[in-house]
Structure 1
Amino acid sequence: MSALRYLSTRGRAPAVTLSEAIAAGLAPDGGLYVPERLPSIDLAAFDPDGDLAATATTLLTPFFAGDPLADALPAICAEAFTFNAPLRPLARPDASLLELFHGPTAAFKDFGARFLAACLRRLRDPDAPPLTILVATSGDTGAAVGAAFHQRSDLERSGVRVAILYPDGRVSPRQAHQLGSFGDNVHALRVAGSFDDCQRLVKAALNDAGLQREVPLSSANSISLGRLLPQMSYYAHAALRWWRAHGRPLDFIIPTGNLGNAMACVWTRGMGLPVGDIRLACNANGTLPDFFAGAGYRPRDAIATLANAMDVGAPSNFERLRWTFGGDDDAVRHALRAASIDDATIRATLLRHARDHDEVVCPHTATALAVLDREPRGDARHWAVVATAHPAKFDAVLEPLLGHALTVPPALAAMLERPAVAAPMGVDEQALGQWLRKLA
C-alpha cells in the first residue's frame, strides 16, 4: 500500500506526511490538510465481529500507510475507542439514534480528542520544546481535548499543554464549568466574543511564525486531521452493521456548525462505505443552509442559539468540503442537503419527542430530529439521527422545558464537583500572544 501525502486546501504549502500534518494542525499557508486522494476500501476487509476500535483500525490503515505512526495504529485505536457508539431505535420505525455521548465528557468530541492525544504522545520527543495545543470551542470540543490531555504523565514529560478558548456567556453553564475544571496543564480562556472570534484567534496564533518560534503550537479543533479522521470510524461502524443486517446503506442526519463531524461522514461515504443520503441539521446560523439553497458561500457573524455548539458563522471545514468535490459548488450541493432550525422549533421538538416518545435529547440533537420530522415516510431509507451530546449538559435549557431534573452521567458529575477557573481574554491577537509567551 503506497503512502499518502497530505496537501493544503489552499495549495501553497509543501506536501507532508500524516504525522507532520497531525503535529502541525494547520498548514503554513493557512489551509487545512487533506489527503492527496481519498482512498477506497474493500468492505470485505472489515471484521464483521469487530468492535469499534477494530473498525477504526481497518478504516484508517490506508491513511497511515508508510507513516511513522502506522505500526502503532491498532494501539492508538484501542486506546481511543474504549466506549461504544450504539445505534438505538427511535419511536419512528424508519429511524435510529446514533449515540456519540458515552465518553468521558459526554460528547462526540471525545472520540477524536482521545485519538489525537494518543498520536501526539507517540510523536512527541521528550527533549523537544514544550508544545501548546490551542483549541477554540463552542462548548464541547474544549472539554474533550482537556480530558484527553489532562494530567497525563507521559504528556507532561513531553511538555504538552492545552489552552482552551471559549466565547464567554455563549456556552451552557455546565459546559463552561467543564472547560475550567481541569487545571494543571489545561488552561481555559473565556473570550469576550463569539466562537468565530475564538477560531480566528487560534488560526492567527498558529499562522504567526514569530510566535511559533517562541511557543511551539498545534491545534485540536476539527481543522486537525488527528481529530477528523477518527470521527469517520463511528459512521463506518454503524453503516457496516446496518448494511450487514439489512442489505442497504444507512442514511444520516447530522447536527453541524463547523462541519467537522459532517465532513467525517462525507469522507466515509467517499471511501465506499455503505452510507446513503446525508442531511445537515443547522441552527439559525444561516451560512450553510443558505449556501445549500443556492446562494454563494458567505461567512458571517455567528448568532447565539439554544444549540450553542453549532453557533458558527464561518465553518472552517467548508474548505475541506469544497476540496472533496474538486471545488465544484454544484457538486457539493448535489451531495448534501442542509436545513435551518430556529430556536422555537428546537423547543417544540424537544418537548414533543420527550412527551410523546420519551426521547430526551440535547438541543443539537433536536435540530436533527426536527429535520427527521420533515422527511417523508415509507421509502427505503433508514435515518440515523446523530446524537452529539448528553442532554444533561444542557440542564438550563431542558429542565425548565421538561419540568424535571435530568440524570447526570458519573463522569460529568465528577467534573462538575471540581472547582472551575477561566481567565478573561479580549478578541486581541497580541494579547493572546503575550498570554502564550507567559505560559511558556
Structure 2
Amino acid sequence: MKLYSTNNKDLRVSFKEAVFNSMPQDKGLYMPVEIPQLDPAFIENIEQYTLPEIAYQVASALLKDEIPADDLQSLIADAINFEAPAVKLDDKTFVLELFHGPSLAFKDFGARFMSRVMAYFLKDGEQLLDVLVATSGDTGGAVALGFLGVPNTRVTILYPEGKVSPIQELQLTTNGENIRAIEVKGTFDDCQALVKQAFADAELNARFRLTSANSINISRLIPQTFYYFNTYAQLKKQGHNAVVFSVPSGNFGNIGAGLLAYKLGLPVKQFIAATNVNDTVPRFLATGNYETKPSTQTYSNAMDVGAPSNWVRIMDLFNQDVEALKKVVTAYRFTDEETLAGIKAIDNQFNYVACPHTAIAYLAVEKYRQENPTDESAAVFLSTAHACKFPDIFPADIAVKIEIPEQVTALESKPKQADQLGVDFEGFKAYLLKG
C-alpha cells in the first residue's frame, strides 16, 4: 500500500511510515494512492460473512502485502472482538450501535486497530513511540484503553477543560501507566492545534518519535470502514439493498470512513452528515464557502469541532468536485433544543435511549425523509457512544432507563490524574521536553 499527501500527490510512503509519521511534513493528510474495487462477488454475498471476516477482506484489499495474511487476521481478531449490531426500530429504520467496545464509543474500532498495528510494527530496542492525541470527548478514552500497557509507547491526551462529560474525563484521567492526560484551558480546536504544531516542530521531532492517534492517522480511518460493510451485510439479510447512512459528524473521520467504503464498492444510496451548531460543512455545502469558526460547546460535545481535519480527505476522495460530492452527501445541523427534542422523540416512539450525538443522527434521517418522501431506502443512523456518558443531558424519566456498564462503575473509585496547561504552544512544548 502506498500513500500520498493531500498537499502533494507525488509523495509516496508506505503504510508503516504513514502510521508512525501520522501526518506529512507538508501538513496534508495521507491518502491511498489506489482505492481498489472489492470483488463484486464479495459484496453480493456479504451477508454470509462475520464482522472479522468482512474486516479482513476490506483491510487486505487496502493494505495489500503490508502485513502478512495470518498476522493481519490475528490482529483483526484481537482488535475487533466486539459486535456492532444494527438494531431494528421499525421496518425501514435502524440504529447502528457502535458502543459495545471497552470505551463505550465507536472510536474503539479505530483506536484498537491502530494500537495493534503500531505494536506489530514496533521492534524491540526501538525509540519510545510518543502518541499525541486531542480529544473532544470519546477519542481519548478509546485511545487510552487501546494503548494501555502497550510496550514502548507513551500516550499524551489533550482535552478541553470543562467540555467533556464526567465519565469521559474519568476514562481519560484514571489510567496511569503509559497514559498521561492534559486538561487544556481552551476548546477542542485549541487542543488539536497544539498537537498539529507539535508535529511541525523540528526540535520535538528531533527529540521524540511522535505520532498521532487522532483520526488524521490513516490507521484510524481504515477500520472504521469495517462497520459500514458489516451493517450492509446485516440489512441485506433482512432484504434491504438500498441504504442511507446518517452519521454524527464533528471531525468528519467517521463519515470519511463511510465514503472510503463507498469508494471501495459499498453500495450506499446517500450519506447524511449530521452536525450540531458547529456547522462548517453544512454551510459549505449550502453556500460553497468553506469558513471555519471557533467551536461552540453543545450537548453533543464529541462533535464540537469548528475546523474538521478530515474534510480535506473527503474533498480528495471526490477530486475537489463539490457537485459530485453533493450527489452523495447531504448535511443538516441541529441545535441543543432540537437535540433534546430528538432524544425525547426516540424514547417516545421506540422506547430507545439515544445519546445526544445519536439523536442528531436520528433527526437528520427524519429531515432527509421529509425532503425525499419517495426514497424507500432503509435508513441507518449511527449511535456513536453509550448514553451513560451524558447523564446530565437526559430528562429524569429517560435517565432512569440508562443501564450503567460495570466498567463505568469501576472508574468512579479511581483518582483523577491530569496536568493543566493553557493554549500557548510554548507551554505545551516545554511540557513535552521535560519528558
TM-score (norm 1): 0.94
The Cα RMSD (Å) is 1.7
What is the identity, as a one-letter code, of the residue corresponding to 2:100? Answer: H
Matched, 1:42 2:39: yes
Taking the aligned partners of 2:9 and 2:3, their CA distance within structure 1 comes to 12
Higher alpha-carbon deviation: 11-20 or 205-214: 11-20
Residue-by-residue CA offset, 1:173-215 (whole Å, 9 max, x unaligned): 1111211011111001011111111111111101212201112
The Cα shift of 1:48 comes to: 4.1
**For residue 66 of structure 2, what is the aligned residue in structure 1?**
67
Taking the aligned partners of 2:321 and 2:202, their CA distance within structure 1 comes to 32
What is the identity, as a one-letter code, of the residue corresponding to 2:84? Answer: A
The Cα shift of 1:225 comes to: 0.7
Taking the aligned partners of 2:26 and 2:221, their CA distance within structure 1 comes to 20
Counterpart of 1:148 (choices 135, 146, 149) is 146
Counterpart of 1:414 (choices 410, 417, 431) is 410
Matched, 1:393 2:419: no
Gaps of 5+ in 1: none
**For residue 231 of structure 2, what is the aligned residue in structure 1?**
238
Taking the aligned partners of 2:424 and 2:342, their CA distance within structure 1 comes to 39
> Once the two structures are aligned, what percentage of the paired residues are identical?
36
What is the identity, as a one-letter code, of the residue corresponding to 1:359? Answer: Y
Matched, 1:81 2:80: yes
The Cα shift of 1:12 comes to: 7.1
Higher alpha-carbon deviation: 403-412 or 340-349: 403-412
Matched, 1:102 2:100: yes
User: For the Cα contact (< 8 Å) 1:231–1:261, is it kept in 2?
Assistant: yes
Q: Secondary structure at the match of 2:196?
A: helix
Residue-by-residue CA offset, 1:380-430 (whole Å, 9 max, x unaligned): 211011000000010111254735362211223223332222111111111
Counterpart of 1:288 (choices 281, 287, 303) is 281
User: For the Cα contact (< 8 Å) 1:254–1:262, is it kept in 2?
Assistant: yes
**For residue 423 of structure 2, what is the aligned residue in structure 1?**
427
In the comparison of the two structures, how many residue pairs are matched? Answer: 430
User: For the Cα contact (< 8 Å) 2:160–2:187, is it kept in 1?
Assistant: yes
Residue pairs, 1:39-438, within 5 angstroms: 39-45=36-42, 48-68=47-67, 71-90=70-89, 92-151=90-149, 155-156=150-151, 159-246=152-239, 248-374=241-367, 375-376=369-370, 379-400=375-396, 402=398, 404=400, 406-438=402-434
Higher alpha-carbon deviation: 372-381 or 297-306: 372-381
Q: Secondary structure at the match of 1:97?
A: strand
TM-score (norm 2): 0.95
User: For the Cα contact (< 8 Å) 1:250–1:384, is it kept in 2?
Assistant: yes
User: For the Cα contact (< 8 Å) 2:280–2:293, is it kept in 1?
Assistant: yes
Higher alpha-carbon deviation: 7-16 or 271-280: 7-16
User: For the Cα contact (< 8 Å) 1:149–1:162, is it kept in 2?
Assistant: yes
User: For the Cα contact (< 8 Å) 2:131–2:153, is it kept in 1?
Assistant: yes
What is the identity, as a one-letter code, of the residue corresponding to 2:356? Answer: P
Taking the aligned partners of 1:294 and 1:47, their CA distance within structure 2 comes to 38
The Cα shift of 1:109 comes to: 0.4
Taking the aligned partners of 1:39 and 1:192, their CA distance within structure 2 comes to 44
Taking the aligned partners of 2:339 and 2:177, their CA distance within structure 1 comes to 37
The Cα shift of 1:13 comes to: 7.2
What is the identity, as a one-letter code, of the residue corresponding to 1:317? Answer: N
Q: Secondary structure at the match of 2:416?
A: coil
User: For the Cα contact (< 8 Å) 2:133–2:140, is it kept in 1?
Assistant: yes
Gaps of 5+ in 2: none
Residue pairs, 1:27-38, within 5 angstroms: 27-38=24-35
Higher alpha-carbon deviation: 239-248 or 262-271: 239-248
Taking the aligned partners of 2:393 and 2:315, their CA distance within structure 1 comes to 35
Higher alpha-carbon deviation: 417-426 or 405-414: 405-414
User: For the Cα contact (< 8 Å) 2:421–2:428, is it kept in 1?
Assistant: yes
What is the identity, as a one-letter code, of the residue corresponding to 1:126? Answer: D
The Cα shift of 1:70 comes to: 5.5
User: For the Cα contact (< 8 Å) 2:136–2:159, is it kept in 1?
Assistant: yes
Taking the aligned partners of 1:12 and 1:267, their CA distance within structure 2 comes to 18
Taking the aligned partners of 1:280 and 1:380, their CA distance within structure 2 comes to 19
Taking the aligned partners of 1:23 and 1:69, their CA distance within structure 2 comes to 19
The Cα shift of 1:250 comes to: 1.9
